[in-house]
Chains A and B, each alone.
Chain A
Amino acid sequence: MSRGKKRKRIAGLLLAAAVAVVSLGGCGANGEKETDAGSAGTESEVSSGGMGRYLETELSLPEGVETIYALAKLADGQAAMFAYGGGWGLYRSEDGGESWAKQEADDAKLASVFEGYMTGASISPDGTAAGILVDYEGETPVAAVGILNPDGTAERKELILPETGDETDAYTGLMQKCAFDTAGNLLVQNLNGDLFSVDLETGNCTFLAGDSSIQYFGVAGEQILAVTSDGILLFDSTDGSSLSEDAVLSDMIQADSSLADVLSDFGTVLAFARETEENAVFYVNHDGLFCHTQGGSVSEQLINGALNTMGDSTVSFLNLVMLDSEHFLLSIIDASGQNRLLKYSYDAQASAVPETELRVYALEDSSYLRQAVSAYQKNHQDVYVNLEIGMSGGDGVTAEDAIQALNTDILAGDGPDVLILDGMPADSYIEKGVLADISSLVQEIADSDGVFENVRKAYEKDGAIYQFPAKFYVTLVNGTAEAVAAGASVEKLASYINEGQASLTPQNDETLLKTFFLADSAQWTDEEGKLNENIIRNWLEQLKVIYDAGNWDDTQQYYSYSGGAVTDLLGTLSPVSVLTGEGEVSYGSLVDMTELLTLAAADKQNGMTYGLADSDGAKSFVPYMLAGISSSTKQTEAAEDFLRTLFGKECGSVDGNGFPVNRAAYDALCEDAQSRYGDDEGIGISVSTDDGISLELNLENLTEAETAEFTAILEQADAPACMDRVVWEIVLEQGKAVLSGDVTAEQAASEIMQKGSLYLAE
């Protein structure tokens, strides 16, 4: 071979090697994980480096203010807020919301002008506040507008709607939203999706535009942005003429139709700022705050929702105001129903993306977790919480797939910093040293706020705590005193029911199995961790008796539960069914204080009582939001801070998802339950059954004795229920076969033992 040919070959080989090395290197460099930041049609700034970011601060509301009805920027540059707090008032701020001064007005006059049910309010650029008031007393709702003028005078005008030909249409007068445009025109929208312009002098309404699919609207400059479930319709606010559709805005709605929903608190998950800048519209949703130049192909993300309260899926938005290009005000309603005012200010010195990243992993998404992330983010703006959800839903990923992927990351040294262990093999992770000891953190919370000691003891292992729940709930039995006594164990309950003394309130097979599984399964294994076949067989036999006695309609879905992870919260206790006579005994879980109010009210009304389903000595509880810190994390401090938030009073005192392990949060919930209805005698609600039986139930404040009684029950529960996903799936499969009569309890127990023993032997 000639020297030239040899040289060419060597050069060729080197080139091939270089290409291989470059391509392998290229694969690794871009191996970034997918996070939940950003969405279709948006241009995120999160990935870019550099400096400059909007930082969030929470502003104090003026003293006494409880509800923010409207927020705006006035023509003179001041911020204005129309709010209620024992009385109506317009508040002005010259320092961007930091301090507020109430406008002088006659409080008694305001009370009479704004009397009624206010469905919406707005402030015009000149400082006129208007509120839409709906009177439900008549056959058809009548709407009026209350006006508070800049000089402090107030007046009320009944809205005079144009003739529609159908005067009995209740929705025509049911106004649900109003807004001033920049020219000072007041626009209102009724439930039919009709938009009107209101003459404040006369109350005359002029029809502008309408579409039955319009859910709500926003105003940007002199444009109406009417949100429908399919997109956003644009109209000119001065004459109602239709404007050409903006594809980016409509695509946003089509990608997430929940953006079009009006929530029960009148908030929305999409809000527009009235202020515009060079044909650009500003809007906020849970992804963040965006600027969209109309006709442009993308929206620019100015603020990443994942870094602050905007990303909290439990909050709804009320008003967005752009004070100037570096300052925004946002009023929201949080999960506890409180109105809050947030300010976003641009800080050129802050890094565009927080330099510290805290990775939090959970198998399933939850509003509680989102709320905790948001609460943490608010106080730690130098940390970016990257929330990774294993089963995001819709992509067919099973729990097993997700855990395998997580384990691969952990083994590769690329695991998350904080693990939410619901549905995960937590015991195995503890055994393998994946989780760090968080006992000092738990002790710190116990010292400051207090914790349910029975729960803490249940998670102590040789003096260490590797996992700890933020919330927990228990299984209760509700009925007569005899029924409650019988409900102490599945065997006694089955015997009680079999003797014809009572029947259980309707449940489907899966709910029944799960409810009793969570109450009883803590007793199924011996000290060596082996399953006890006799106990399981007996349990299945008793459940079969209870199920057969119920004679329920299998085709009916009595509760929303339909399979899924063992950690699903149920709320299956149904005191209302006992009250309406659908069954004499109810057995199930109670997951928040609101349900306890219902239980107490129902029991008072029909002389029933309740107790812990203690399974003959086994007093189990169901943990929720079990969390731990990875032993290999480099962000120990940030991870501990996150758990302080997760287990803290602020997150725990939001009612729902079980009862907080944090004692201060629990006490706050008890106090709320004791004073929820003020000094009133409570509220009456109507309950009805499928059979048409209708009853009135009077919800009242709980007494101290009632909360103490329930607290004592929570304090008794000392063993976590078996939360093992594999065991649950095996029991569910066999249990359903037993209830349907396909196999005997003996055969099913044998099958459970065989599969379960294999699992435990592994």
Chain B
Amino acid sequence: MRNKGLWFVLPHFLGVLIFALLPFLDVVRRSFCKAAGGFCGLENYIAVWKNEAFRLAAGNTLRFTLVCLPALLLLSLALSLLLYGIGRGGTLFKNVFLMPMAIPAACVALIWRLLFDAGGIINGVLAAFSCPAVDWMHTDSAFWVLVCSYLWKNTGYVIVLWLAAMAGIPQSVYEAARLDGAGRAACFRYITLPCLAPAAYTIAVLSFLNSFKVFREAYLVAGNYPQRSIYLLQHVFNNWFLDLSVDKMAAGAVMLALFVCAAVWALGRAISSGPRI
């Protein structure tokens, strides 16, 4: 049978079709309707685009992604290169980096409070060194707290992905390059990086999607209306649902889906046009 693999994909595809794609088509339909019913054309899209809260949240989410994604990819790549070099001894470190993933979001929120509260541990340490206290959660510092939290939580997972990709590069290629006189830098530039490109695409997409999950921590710590810099798109959607603003939610969701698709496509193009072995 030539298309044997299709049978394995089919059940999952059916699941996605029934539970994601078809409901999304309904979301698209609703995005052109008023909340009370009735077609309204692009009215919802215009209203959402003009909505101050949505624009702020979209800007914050984009800013967060643009800061976090490169930082995460580079930091985890650097650490995985180090761990790869250590060999078997790197397992312990790998496990340490993975630990944050096992901590539930509610505990992370609690740790946040302990660390970043006005009378928290960090301000206690600052006070010990006679430094002025920082209002971490009620100033723009909250954004950087969120960035650090994201990096802390996701670095271990991405390291594992990088290490898996590195393990797939044949050692014979490196040996041949060394026989030709290539140094470590040249090996990394001309062998490791090009070989990691397909994995980089997957890792970047996964990290990009994971960046939306940071909302849980922000929500648990600061509620529906956090400091402006960490007011994300999920806050808006959550609050709109409480308000039964399905029209705006649908339009916003379609816009977000289009943006995510475009970003994933652009990422794929960028990586495929990168260096090749």
> Min CB distance, A739 to chain B, in Å?
16
Within 8 A of B (CB), among A714-762: 726, 730, 742, 751, 754-755, 757-759, 761-762
Contact B241 A432 (CB under 8 A): no
Q: Is B216 part of the contact surface with A, judged by Cβ < 8 Å?
A: no
Chain B residues with Cβ below 8 Å from A757 are: 52
B94 proximal to A (CB < 8 A):
no
**Pairwise interchain contact B228-A758, C-beta atoms closer than 8 A:** yes
Q: Does A407 contact B (CB under 8 A)?
A: yes
Q: How many B residues touch the partner, as a band?
A: 20 to 34
Complex Cα distance A403/B242, Å?
6
Is A678 located at the chain interface by the 8 A CB criterion?
A: no
* Residue in B36, B56, B239 whose beta carbon sits within 8 Å of that of A759 in the complex: B239
User: A244 an interface residue at 8 Å Cβ cutoff?
Assistant: no
Is B210 on the interface with A (CB-CB < 8 A)? no
Bin chain A's interface residue count: 20 to 34
Residues of chain A within 8 A of B244, CB atoms compared: 407, 410-411, 425, 428-429, 432, 434
Q: Does A431 contact B (CB under 8 A)?
A: yes
**Does the CB pair B242–A761 fall under 8 Å?**
no
Task: Return the CB mask of B217-243 against A: 1 if under 8 Å, else 0.
Answer: 000000011001001000010011111
Interface pair A758/B36, CB less than 8 Å apart? no
Assuming A433-B36, A751-B138, is B242 touching A758 (CB within 8 A)? no
Task: Say yes or no: is A404 at the interface (Cβ < 8 Å to chain B).
Answer: yes
| Among A403, A433, A726, A759, contact of B35 (Cβ-Cβ < 8 Å) | A433
Q: Is A98 an interface residue (CB 8 A)?
A: no
Contact A754 B242 (CB under 8 A): no
Could you tell me if A762 and B138 are in contact, using CB atoms closer than 8 angstroms? no
Interface flag for B246 (CB, 8 Å): yes
A400 within 8 A of B: yes
| Chain A 368-410 interface residues, beta-carbon cutoff 8 Å to B | 400, 403-404, 407, 410
A407 to B35, CA, bound (A): 12
B222 CB → nearest A CB, Å: 10
> 0/1 per residue, A682-723, Cβ < 8 Å to B?
000000000000000000000000000000000000000000
Give, as a whole number of angstroms, the nearest-CB distance from A554 to chain B. Answer: 18
A454 to B167, CA, bound (A): 77
- Which of A404, A432, A433, A762 sits near B236, CB closer than 8 Å? A762
- Per the bound structure, the CA–CA distance linking A762 and B243 in Å amounts to 9
C-alpha spacing A411/B224, complex, angstroms: 22
Q: Chain B CB within 10 Å — which of A429, A434, A762 has the most?
A: A762
CB-CB < 8 A to B35: which residues of A? 431-433
Tell whether A404 pairs with B56 under 8 Å between CB atoms, given A433-B35, A751-B138. no
Smallest CB gap from B242: residue in A: A403
Flag if A726 contacts B36 (CB, 8 Å): no
Q: Are B52 and A411 in contact (CB under 8 A)?
A: no
Q: Which residue of A lies closest to B227 (CB)?
A: A754
B10-64, CB < 8 A from A:
35-37, 51-54, 56
- Whole-angstrom distance between the alpha carbons of A228 and B18 in the complex? 56
Q: Please determine whether A432 and B245 come into contact, CB atoms closer than 8 angstroms.
A: yes
B52 touches A726 (CB 8 A): no
Asked whether A762 lies within 8 Å of B239 as measured between CB atoms, the reply is yes
Query: In the complex, what residues of A have CB within 8 A of residue B118's CB?
Result: 742
User: Cβ of A758 and Cβ of B56 under 8 Å apart?
Assistant: yes
Number of A-B contacts (CB under 8 A): 56
Take A759-B239, A761-B52 as given contacts and tell me if A726 and B224 are in contact as well, using a CB distance cutoff of 8 Å.
Answer: yes
Note all chain B residues with C-beta closer than 8 A to A742.
Answer: 118
Question: Chain B residues near A432 (CB, 8 Å)?
Answer: 35-36, 244-246
Quick one: CB contact mask for B106-131 with A, threshold 8 Å, 1 for yes?
A: 00000000000010000000000000
B222 nearest CB neighbor, chain A only: A755
Residue of B35, B51, B138, B242 with most partner-chain A CB within 10 A = B242
The smallest C-beta distance from B64 to any residue of chain A, in angstroms, reads 17
Q: Which residue of B lies closest to A760 (CB)?
A: B53
- With contact pairs A726-B225, A755-B225, A759-B225 given, residues A433 and B37 touching in the complex (Cβ less than 8 Å): yes
Bound Cα distance A169, B56 (Å): 73
| Distance of A688 Cα from B36 Cα, bound (Å) | 57
Q: Smallest Cβ distance from A756 to chain B, in angstroms?
A: 8
Determine the chain B residues whose CB is within 8 A of the CB of A411 once the complex forms. 244, 246
Does B225 contact A425, Cβ atoms closer than 8 Å? no
Interface string of A448-491 (1 = CB under 8 A from B): 00000000000000000000000000000000000000000000
A residues in contact with B225, CB < 8 Å: 726, 730, 755, 758-759
A485–B118 Cα distance when bound, in Å, is 41
**Residues in A neighbouring B231, C-beta threshold 8 A:** 758
- A758 with B245: in contact, given A433-B37, A726-B224 (CB under 8 Å)? no
Which of chain B's residues has its CB closest to A425's CB?
B243
Are B52 and A425 in contact, CB atoms less than 8 angstroms apart? no
**Which of chain B's residues have a CB closer than 8 A to the CB of A762?**
51, 53-54, 236, 239-240, 243, 245
- Is B242 a contact of A425 with CB atoms below 8 Å? yes
**Nearest B residue to A24, CB-CB:** B18
Contacts of B239 in A (CB 8 A): 759, 762
Residues of A within 8 A of B246 (CB): 411, 432
Within 8 A of A (CB), among B48-106: 51-54, 56
B113 CB to closest chain A CB (Å) equals 15
A428/B243 in contact, CB under 8 A: yes
Please, which residues of chain A bring their CB within 8 A of the CB of B36? 432-433
Q: Complex: how many Å from CA A730 to CA B244?
A: 21
Q: What separation, in Å, do the CA atoms of A761 and B231 have in the docked complex?
A: 13
Rounded to whole Å, the gap between the CB of B35 and the closest CB of chain A is: 4
Check if A761 sits within 8 Å of B224, measured CB to CB.
no
Distance in angstroms from B215 CB to nearest chain A CB is: 15
Query: A726 vs B225: C-alpha distance in the bound complex, in angstroms?
Result: 9
* Contact present for B53 and A407 (CB under 8 Å): no
A229 to B52, CA, bound (A): 57
- The smallest beta-carbon distance between B21 and chain A, in angstroms, is 18
* Complex interface: chain B residues within 8 A of A730 (CB): 225
A402 to chain B, nearest CB (A): 10
Q: Which residues of A contact B37 (CB under 8 A)?
A: 433
Q: Which residues of B contact A (CB under 8 A)?
A: 35-37, 51-54, 56, 118, 138, 224-225, 228, 231, 236, 239-246
Interface, chain A (partner B; CB < 8 A): 400, 403-404, 407, 410-411, 425, 428-429, 431-434, 726, 730, 742, 751, 754-755, 757-759, 761-762
9 closest cross-chain pairs (CB), A and B? A433-B36, A432-B35, A755-B225, A761-B52, A761-B53, A762-B53, A428-B243, A432-B244, A407-B244
Known: A433-B37, A762-B53. 10 other contacts (CB 8 A): A428-B243, A428-B245, A429-B244, A432-B36, A432-B246, A433-B36, A434-B244, A726-B225, A742-B118, A758-B231
Q: List 9 A-B contacts (CB under 8 A).
A: A400-B224, A403-B242, A432-B244, A726-B224, A751-B138, A755-B225, A758-B56, A759-B239, A761-B53
